[in-house]
Structure formats: C-alpha cells, structure tokens
Copies of this chain bind each other. A is one copy, B any other.
Amino acid sequence: MGSDVAMSPKITVELLRQLRQAMRNTKYIAEPIQAYIVPSGDAHQSEYIAPCDCRREFICGFNGSAGTAIVTEKHAAMWTDGRYFLQASQQMDNNWTLMKMGLKETLSQEDWLISVLPDNSTVGVDPWIIAADQWKNMSKALASAGHSLVAVQDNLIDAIWRDRPTRPSTQLLTLGLGFTGLTWQDKMTALRSKMAERKISWFVATALDEIAWLFNLRGSDIEYNPVFFAYAIVGMNTIRLFVDIKRLAVPTVREHLQLDTPSKAELSVQTAPYESVFTELQAVCASLGPKEKVWISDKASCALTQVIPKAHRSPIPYTHLCLAKAVKNATEIQGMKMAHIKDAVALCELFAWLEKEIPKGTVTEISAADKAEELRSQQKDFVGLSFPSISSVGPNGAIIHYRPLPETNRTLSLNEIYLLDSGAQYIDGTTDVTRTMHFGSPSAYEKETFTYVLKGHIAVSAAIFPNGTKGHLLDSFARQALWESGLDYLHGTGHGVGCFLNVHEGPCGISYKTFADEPLEAGMIVSDEPGYYEDGLFGIRIENVVLVVPAKPKYNYRNKGSLTFEPLTLVPIQAKMVNTDLLTQKERDWVNEYHRQCRETIGAELERQGRKEAMDWLIRETQPIA
C-alpha cells in the first residue's frame, strides 16, 4: 500500500536493461554483481513507505506492502505472501516470476539464488534498506553455496530512477499528556531504567513509530502513518534526535522538546540533521568503554548496525520501546475507545446510506470509500485514514489487499458481496475495521462461509487463555471451523494496532507464523480478522480491534491469572449473512451480547450527534438473532 494499485502490468523491459547495466557499472561497484536484491522497506524498515522509497514497486510494478524483488543477469523474481498473489500477478509483466511465499513448492530467496546463479557469484544489496538479521541469514546461506553478499552503497534503483520524489519533511504535531498518559521525559526515564537493568549504555532507535511514541510527536511523512523521518540515540545522560532541522523551528515543537529551556542535562535533547546519524553513531562507538553495550533492534538496517563493533552490539528482536508502546496505558486505552466510537458512528452512517443508495446503482467501490472517508472526517480530531480503504465488490474482495482504481471500480449491487476494510487516524486513537455485507440475498454458500469466518472471529475474541500465552497459540482457533470444512485463509489472524500510530505494529500478533512474539498482556491491542476468499468470486473478512483484558474464569490454575479480549470496534455484524443453524448457543449469545453493546454505546453517541438514519439502521441491525 502507500500508493495507487494499478491493475495492469508495468512494462519493465527497459528498466531491467538499465538495472542490469548498472549491476555491471564500475561507477557504482568495484566488480560486477550477478544479482541485485530490492527489499520493500526504507532505511527504517517501515512497512508503509514514502514515495521516494518505493524502489521495489518502481522496478517491478507490484505495490503491495510486502515483497522483495531480485534481479539477476537472466532472471527477475518477486516474493510476496498470500494476501498479494492475485494483485502481484496482475501488476507485473512477464519479465517477472511471482514467487508465492508459504506454498510448499516455492523456493526461498536464498535457495532460488543458489539455483540460478553461476558459481562464485556476487549478490548486491543496499545495506540501508536490508535489516541486519536478513543480511545475516542471506549472507550465511549464500556463503554456504560459494557465493557472497556485498553492500552496494549507491542504490542502483535510485541510479536509474529519473524524477525520484524527494524525502518528505512535514510539520510536527506535539501530543500532550491528555493523549499520551506519559510525558516523553517519563518514557525516557523508563527506557533508561530498562537499559540500566540490562547494563546497556546506549540505545539506537530506528523505527519511526517508536521514535514518534518516545517523543510524543507525530508527523505525516508517510501516508496513513503519523510518523516522521528521524533517528534517536539515547545514552544514560544524552538524548540525540536526528531529524530535518527545519522542522524544529516551530515554537510548539521547541517548547515540547524544551530546546530553549535549561533542563536537567540528562533530559536535554540535542538535535542533529537526519543524515548525520551514521557519523554520530560512529563517534559514540569510538568512545565506548571495553564492556559497554549498545542496544539496537536486529530489524535495524545493516548499514547502521554494522557501525557498532560486534563486541559492543546487543541486538534484540524487539526494543523496549516496541513492547512499552504495545501495552497501552489507561489514557491511551480511553483514547482508543473514543476513537472507535467515533469510527463506528461514521460506519453506521455509511451503511445506512449504502442501503438506501445501492438500489439506485450509483454507488461504486471508490464512491463508497470516499463516502466513508467523508463521514469519518466529520468526527472530532480526525486526522486521516490509517490505510487505503479496501472497498471491494464481488471478485475484487478476493484480492486481499485490494484498492479500487477507476479501471477496476465495480458498482455495488444487490447481487454481490461488499467487503470494506478501512480505518482512520484520530488524535486519540487509530481504527481498523472490516465488515462484509450483502445488500440483497446472499447465497447459501456465501452464508455458510461467512458463518465459518464468524465462528473463527468469535473463537478468538471470546477465548480465555492463561497469562503468558503467546498470540500465535490462538491462531488456530480462528481457523477451526473453516478447517473442518476443508477451507482456510492465507494470512495471519491479527496484528498489533498503534494508538494514533501505525495500524500495524509489533511485537504481538495472532498468526500461524511463530515470529518472535511476546506473550499477550493486559493493555495490548490487536486485530481479530479471519477471512475466507474465493478467487474470482468474493472475499469475506470480519475484523474487530480488540483489547487484551484480565478474565475471571471459575478457577485460577497456579495463580497464573487469565486473559481475554474486549472488542473496541462496535459495528454490527450483518445478521443476514449468518446461517444461525451453524452457530452454537454460546456463539449466538456472543453475537447478541456484542450487538447489545453496539446498540448501547454507539446508539448513545448517534443520539448525541443527532444522526437519526444511522440510529434507525443500528437498531435494525442489532436485533437479537434466534
């Protein structure tokens, strides 16, 4: 995501010719390289990236949020996951081979390189846009087959990219205690106490959302993500913030960071240009004592990681900030709840409007998404969308991260399923919700599969599990009903959600992939979004954002305590799509209780805002099911 989804393939013959020329050009590299890797991230390993960083899209045409392109002298291949198989196959021309990750027969990038490269090949990559852990794995695998991975300092895509956009530098927004619950000074102190506990002298922050969270600042450098390009280096008595210096001219920002106020030395922020982080980190490392350690995420760029001598490097799978940010405090939870109420108001209005307008045949995927944005923008403290709305009708719904474009735009009708996955940034919180609706009469098969997805959604949402349980242990609950009928979906079940921050955040999630996730704990916020997709026919997904809360089951084994989820999203789930015969009584009770909460909480706000039609729709859609 992050830019438009074109559904016709990009013609890449000439670009590939130029790139292969650059791969042999001694202007950029001492020796020719036989392969060049183009990862999808930026220097901060962001998932969503600014236009100037969309290098993988530039070279192959595919613009989903995840994917890696590799070009050799003879081949060009692009790896992406199940969400994007259809989209990628439509966006790339036949110079490219689509490598479908997660399928048994698909080679990994390493194995593919080994299978196609001549003996003793050299593979190049820009060390700023490959994470240290990926570099390590790739380098090791290539070495084991007699090849080598080299850092190419000049980015070869930039070298052939005319009119590459410049790096954004938007205005910074300061957040007060009423939104954050903690001052940036409090967060700094907590960070340092974790550093002291682990005997760490320095911490290098490279993830944009962690820096924004730490300093209680927001920007809009990357569409949908309220972050700004920056690095930070924190010592026990030093705070260095690397950011385009022009941005610090604003009085509110200067005051927020206390740049002009004498403050305690250890809470005084030294600012420096964004680009100077490399040399400043070199200087920090040059002055390290023999036992001093520097914390850096193993997801940080290879370039920055390798500045730190190995003996001083303490790589961590996720930073203290990442975990502290994931566990929301009471203020943040309150903000997230408010944001979700406003968001539900907008969606109730939207669905009431759709019900009325669709029969006229004038509503399209694009106009529905625009209407959703318009209605959200009427809500207090609305900032923008949290990701491009996935507004999809019928077969487009099967493209998991679809975004409507004029050439793909379908009209909403009484005959096809409509899937809307959308969300917004409000100053008090971030939302992400998917509802799948039919405005006519769904088929028995559509209802059956929708009901399996609903059963999976409920199984996760209502799950009670011991403290200390990792999210991946809940993933199968979401699939059980689908599996029983021989069905499945090729994406994870949930991701962490930031508070007026990135809609996808670590370190927790609910996925069959057992990434380094930390145990779920009360205060964490994740999505619960199982789905089912029939290529060429329809897509179904039911997504709520849910808060991890303590549960009080009958017993308390070894005093470990239990957890469960509380839905923050309060938008009715279309009863018309449910085959109630397939639900257990417990599941029916869950639906009715959920709809009671929607009616109570969102109803009160609709009333307050005087939105009568939406109120009528809400009342109708929250009738108990039998």
Q: Which residues of A contact B (CB under 8 A)?
A: 104, 144, 146, 291, 314, 463-466, 468, 472-477, 479-480, 482-488, 512, 514, 551, 553-558, 560, 562, 584
Q: For the complex, what is the distance from the CA of A463 to the CA of B479, rounded to whole Å? A: 11
B484 near A466: Cβ-Cβ < 8 Å:
no
**Nearest 5 interchain pairs by C-beta:** A486-B553, A486-B555, A514-B514, A487-B557, A473-B476
Q: List 30 A-B contacts (CB under 8 A).
A: A146-B291, A463-B480, A464-B483, A465-B483, A466-B483, A466-B486, A466-B488, A472-B514, A473-B476, A474-B476, A477-B480, A483-B553, A483-B562, A484-B553, A485-B553, A485-B554, A485-B555, A486-B551, A486-B553, A486-B555, A486-B556, A486-B557, A486-B562, A487-B555, A487-B557, A488-B557, A488-B558, A488-B560, A514-B514, A584-B584
**Distance to closest chain B CB from A489 (angstroms):** 9
Q: For the complex, what is the distance from the CA of A241 to the CA of B465, rounded to whole Å? A: 50
**Distance to closest chain B CB from A256 (angstroms):** 37
A463 near B483: Cβ-Cβ < 8 Å:
yes
In the complex, the chain B residue whose C-beta lies closest to that of A462 is B484
Q: For the complex, what is the distance from the CA of A33 to the CA of B239, rounded to whole Å? A: 42
Chain B residues whose CB sits within 8 angstroms of the CB of A584 once the complex forms: 584
Chain B residues whose CB sits within 8 angstroms of the CB of A555 once the complex forms: 485-487
Partner of A475, one of B473, B487, B488: B473
A484 near B468: Cβ-Cβ < 8 Å:
no
**Distance to closest chain B CB from A471 (angstroms):** 11
In the complex, the chain B residue whose C-beta lies closest to that of A555 is B486
Chain B residues whose CB sits within 8 angstroms of the CB of A474 once the complex forms: 476
Q: For the complex, what is the distance from the CA of A104 to the CA of B468, rounded to whole Å? A: 8
Partner of A554, one of B465, B486, B514, B553: B486
Q: For the complex, what is the distance from the CA of A142 to the CA of B573, rounded to whole Å? A: 54
A104, A463, A475, A486 — which one has the most chain B CB atoms within 10 A of its CB?
A486
**Distance to closest chain B CB from A477 (angstroms):** 6
Chain B residues whose CB sits within 8 angstroms of the CB of A314 once the complex forms: 144
Chain B residues whose CB sits within 8 angstroms of the CB of A560 once the complex forms: 488
A464 near B486: Cβ-Cβ < 8 Å:
yes
Chain B residues whose CB sits within 8 angstroms of the CB of A464 once the complex forms: 483-484, 486
